[in-house]
Amino acid sequence: KAAQTIEPTFLFYREDMNRRAKEHLRLESEMRLALGDQELELHYQPKVSLINGQIVGAEALLRWKHPLRGMVSPGVFIPVAEETSLILELGTWVLDEACRQIREWEDRGLRMPVIAVNLSARQFDAHLPARVAAVLERYRVRPDQIMLEITESLLMRGADKVIEIMNELVAMGLSLALDDFGTGYSSLAYLKKFPISTLKIDRAFVIGLPYEENDCAIARAIVTMAQQLRQEIVAEGVETPEQMRFLRSLGCDQLQGYLFSPAVTAVEFEAMLGEGRQLMLEEIM
Ligand code: C2E
Ligand code: MG
Ligand code: MG
Ligand code: MG
């Protein structure tokens, strides 16, 4: 009897799993094609200084222009890619493309701010520094032009090996940012062990500012901690002047968010820099 009641749910579950598995497989094979077919693009989201409103960096964000599905969000395809070695190929493409773009900008005499590239924890192995060095060399890009964004999941692995690789990258001249800070489980004491120069407060804690008491307390604690550790602090997903004002009053260094700009194409980003566009700090204060 028990089996009879369990079975239908079980079947339903199985079908659901099958559908998801198939969808994953399809996405995966389409991504492999996308890599070769120029369906991938990097867009750039400006990071602006909360001291003078100027663009001081940008984060490269992967975009997939699928011929039938339209724009597929990295929130959908990165997690799928992370389940396979595909993330390594995507990661290689992203770093290569960012450096190629920087070289192109430099060749035209443009002065570009630091470009941040997201790294999956799976890309973090002993060969990473050599791979990064090779790409930098190929495009003659200075290491201080690149920042690598990593997540807390990598720190949680906590192995000395991870710290060693990070130290190697930093010794080469790259900088490291801790992305989505606050969503993982790293503690203050823990953070100190890693050569991370920038903390990015996750959007989850920015959303409620300045009205949600808990979010305010968390944001305040993160900024204070970062200052103690002498790390730069960037707030992600800032959409309103009120959020900006609050973060600025805390002493947060930079913001990244729709309030200033979403991620835009390389051409649009270049135009923004050329126009000297900046965040109107006073006007909206
Ligand atoms: P992330 O690294 O935390 O990037 C920030 C995400 O927040 C981006 O989403 C960005 O478009 C979005 N965002 C920025 N400002 C605002 C805002 O004011 N409001 C809202 N609602 N959203 C905002 P996106 O581009 O969809 O990327 C999602 C995630 O996918 C990224 O989160 C990152 O974890 C991952 N990702 C993107 N590109 C790459 C990549 O090249 N490699 C790897 N490994 N992961 C990537
Ligand atoms: Mg990021
Ligand atoms: Mg982030
Ligand atoms: Mg985030």
**What's the gap in Å between 1 CA and the centre of ligand 3?**
50
Which residue has its alpha carbon closest to ligand 1 atom 43?
118
Question: What's the token pair of residue 278?
Answer: 């900046």
Dihedral sign, Cα of residue 257, residue 258, residue 263, residue 265: negative
How confident is the model over 241-281, as pLDDT tens digits? 999 999 999 999 999 999 999 999 999 999 999 999 999 88
Three-class SS string for 180-239?
Answer: EECCCCCCHHHHCCCCCCEEEECHHHHCCCCCCHHHHHHHHHHHHHHHHCCCEEEEECCC
The DSSP result for 98-128, as a single string, is HHHHHHHHHHTT----EEEEE--GGG-STTH
**What's the gap in Å between 40 CA and the centre of ligand 3?**
20
**What's the gap in Å between 200 CA and the centre of ligand 2?**
8
Chain centroid to CA 249: 25
Q: In which element (H, E) is residue 140 found?
A: none
**What's the gap in Å between 19 CA and the centre of ligand 2?**
30
**Could you identify the atom of ligand 1 that is nearest to the CA of residue 258?**
18
**How many of the other CB atoms lie within 10 Å of CB of 203?**
17
**Could you identify the atom of ligand 1 that is nearest to the CA of residue 263?**
11
**What's the gap in Å between 137 CA and the centre of ligand 2?**
24
**Could you identify the atom of ligand 1 that is nearest to the CA of residue 74?**
30
The DSSP result for 14-31, as a single string, is HHHHHHHHHHHHHHHHHH
- Distance of alpha carbon 200 from alpha carbon 220, whole angstroms: 13
pLDDT at res. 10: 55
Q: Write the CA distances from 125 to 134, 152, 275, integer angstroms.
A: 15, 16, 40
How confident is the model over 215-233, as pLDDT tens digits? 999 999 999 999 999 999 9
Helix 86-107 to helix 128-139 angle (10° resolution) is 30
- Distance of alpha carbon 162 from alpha carbon 151, whole angstroms: 12
Which residue has its alpha carbon closest to ligand 1 atom 22?
237
Of 216, 147, 225, 232, nearest in space to 186 by CA: 225
Question: What's the token pair of residue 149?
Answer: 């964004």
Chain centroid to CA 91: 12
Helices marked H in 51-109 — which ranges? 74-82, 86-107
Of 79, 84, 170, 78, nearest in space to 132 by CA: 170
- Per-residue pLDDT of the chain in tens (285 residues, 90 and over written 9): 444 455 555 555 667 778 888 888 888 889 988 888 789 999 999 999 999 999 999 999 999 999 888 999 999 999 999 998 999 999 999 999 999 999 999 999 999 999 999 999 999 999 999 999 999 999 999 999 999 999 988 887 767 889 999 999 999 999 999 999 988 876 666 788 899 999 999 999 999 999 999 999 999 999 999 999 999 999 999 999 999 999 999 999 999 999 999 999 999 999 999 999 999 887 544
Candidate from 41, 44, 61, 82 with most ligand 1 atoms within 8 A of CB, to mutate: 61
Of 82, 195, 186, 110, nearest in space to 147 by CA: 195
pTM beyond 0.90: yes
